[in-house]
Amino acid sequence: MDIISVEHLSKEYREGEGVVRALDDVSLTIGQGEFLAIIGSSGSGKSTLLHLMGGVDRPSSGTVRVNGEDIYQRSDEQLAVFRRREVGLVYQFYNLIPVLDVVENITLPARLDGQEVNERRLASMLRSLGLERQEHLLPNQLSGGQQQRVAIGRALLNSPSIVLADEPTGNLDSKNSAEIMSLLRASNRDLRQTLVVITHDENVALMADRVVAIEDGRIVSDERRA
């Protein structure tokens, strides 16, 4: 069954006098449990597409259906609830809250949603991410790779049905990158989570079930791997 269905999606940004067409009539369906990699050059529209699939921002035209429901028919408040409960989004530039420490950042979506934090799950997440000794540090006291791992922990803690990760290994060396990808892959397999990863790393793309390439806001190839 398709969990995400994107139809004729376009996004334009005003830039001074002109308009930038970041996404140009993109259609794409993603099945539940699928692991999809998105590749494409800088500025091609990858982050824009990921954000629109995650209920961040609104499209200029077209629809995004999740489990058959057009998410942009919802109010901002309903969209916020959708993002907290159903989506784990790892932002390209992390978007950590500077005044909150590692644990507070990771548990924020759960707490905003009024859920009790599962301490055992949190502890095991911190261990898997190699952040046990950084628990009470603030984002500006962390390396880029550590901040990236906090963003991944925040996205995964709630076991969302959809994980959208924007270059989740962009700031990691090859060893850490392989560890983070196996964590995401395990979560995808064990929970039948739908996983969409933007990457410039060929090794990451090679792990995916399917690779979609974007250029100039359009899908230029869509290949399922055997």
Ligand X SMILES: Nc1ncnc2c1ncn2[C@@H]1O[C@H](COP(=O)(O)OP(=O)(O)OP(=O)(O)O)[C@@H](O)[C@H]1O
Interface positions with ligand X (CB under 6 A): 13, 15, 20, 22, 40, 42-48, 92
* Residue from the set 47, 147, 148, 188 that interacts with Mg ion by CB under 5 A: 47
Report the alpha-carbon distance of residue 103 to residue 132 in Å, rounded.
10
Contacts for 75-79 with beta carbons within 8 Å, 24 or more apart? Answer: 79/55
Q: Which residues pair with 27 in a beta bridge?
A: none
Interaction partner, residue 20 (ligand X, Mg ion, none; CB < 5-8 Å by kind): ligand X
Q: How far is the CB of 38 from ligand X (least distance, A)?
A: 9
Q: Which is nearer to ligand X, 8 or 192 (by Cβ)?
A: 8
Q: How far is the CB of 183 from Mg ion (least distance, A)?
A: 21
DSSP letter string over 150-174? HHHHHHHTT--SEEEEESTTTTS-H
- DSSP strands (E only) in 41-200: 61-66, 69-70, 87-90, 162-166, 194-198
Does residue number 171 form part of the binding site for Mg ion (CB under 5 A)?
no
Q: In one letter, which amino acid is 74?
A: R
Q: How far is the CB of 14 from ligand X (least distance, A)?
A: 7
Interaction partner, residue 178 (ligand X, Mg ion, none; CB < 5-8 Å by kind): none
Interaction partner, residue 44 (ligand X, Mg ion, none; CB < 5-8 Å by kind): ligand X
The SS3 of residue 217 is coil
Q: Which is nearer to ligand X, 57 or 113 (by Cβ)?
A: 57
Q: Which is nearer to Mg ion, 110 or 214 (by Cβ)?
A: 214
Q: How far is the CB of 15 from ligand X (least distance, A)?
A: 6
Interaction partner, residue 45 (Mg ion, ligand X, none; CB < 5-8 Å by kind): ligand X
Q: Return the structure tokens found at 65.
A: 């259906």
- Cα separations (Å) of 224 from 61, 88, 169, 183, 208? 27, 24, 22, 22, 9
Q: How far is the CB of 89 from Mg ion (least distance, A)?
A: 13
Does residue number 10 form part of the binding site for Mg ion (CB under 5 A)?
no
For tokens 């916020």, what's the residue? 80
Q: Which residue is nearest to Mg ion (CB)?
A: 47
Report the alpha-carbon distance of residue 71 to residue 98 in Å, rounded.
29
Q: How far is the CB of 125 from ligand X (least distance, A)?
A: 26
Report the alpha-carbon distance of residue 24 to residue 10 in Å, rounded.
5
Give contact residues for Mg ion (rule: CB under 5 A): 47, 92
